[in-house]
Amino acid sequence: MRDQLEKAQHNMDAKLDQIGSRMEEHLRGVRDQMGQLREYMDRHGEYMKQGLDSFREETNRNFETAEAEMQAQKNDMEILEERTAGIARSGVPTSRTLLRPLLNNKPSSKISCLFF
């Protein structure tokens, strides 16, 4: 009987050792997969950050370009107004008075006379 108990205990120890070995092997695999996942997530995060930075830079360039174009148009309008200031005093409509009704969507007899 004692031999049977020792044999059963030995078999149980062997099975537990096998289970422990499989668990260690499984944990090594999980750790490896987690490491690969972590590396992937780090790379993906870096790509996302680079994409966001590129988008931010492009957007800033577009805003700067639009702002520069608006400033150039404003300067052109000021030059045009200065050049037409003498004409305005003589009673001839200036570009500002001609464009104002167009911008306000109101018909103007002065404009219609010019186009018809």
Which one, of 95, 103, 100, lies nearest residue 77 by Cα?
A: 95
Q: Does residue 111 form part of some domain? A: no
82 pLDDT band, cuts 50/70/90, is confident
Q: Does residue 112 form part of some domain? A: no
Neighbours of 81 (CB within 10 A): 13
Position 103 scores a pLDDT of: 57
Q: Does residue 96 form part of some domain? A: no
Q: In terms of residue numbers, what domain contains 34?
A: 2-91
Q: Does residue 101 form part of some domain? A: no
Q: Does residue 78 form part of some domain? A: yes
Cα(29)–Cα(33) distance, rounded to whole angstroms? 6
For residue 2, CA distances in Å to 6, 8, 12, 30 come to 6, 10, 15, 41
The mean predicted confidence, pLDDT, of the chain is: 83
Judged against a pLDDT cut of 70, whether residue 67 lies above it is answered with yes
Domain count, the chain: 1
Q: Output 71 or 97, whichever has higher pLDDT.
A: 71
Cα(112)–Cα(98) distance, rounded to whole angstroms? 10
Q: Does residue 67 form part of some domain? A: yes
Give residue 101's identity as a one-letter amino acid code: P
Q: Record the pTM.
A: 0.46
pLDDT digits (tens, 9 = 90+) for 13-55: 999 999 999 999 999 999 999 999 999 999 999 999 999 999 9
Q: Does residue 103 form part of some domain? A: no
Q: Does residue 109 form part of some domain? A: no
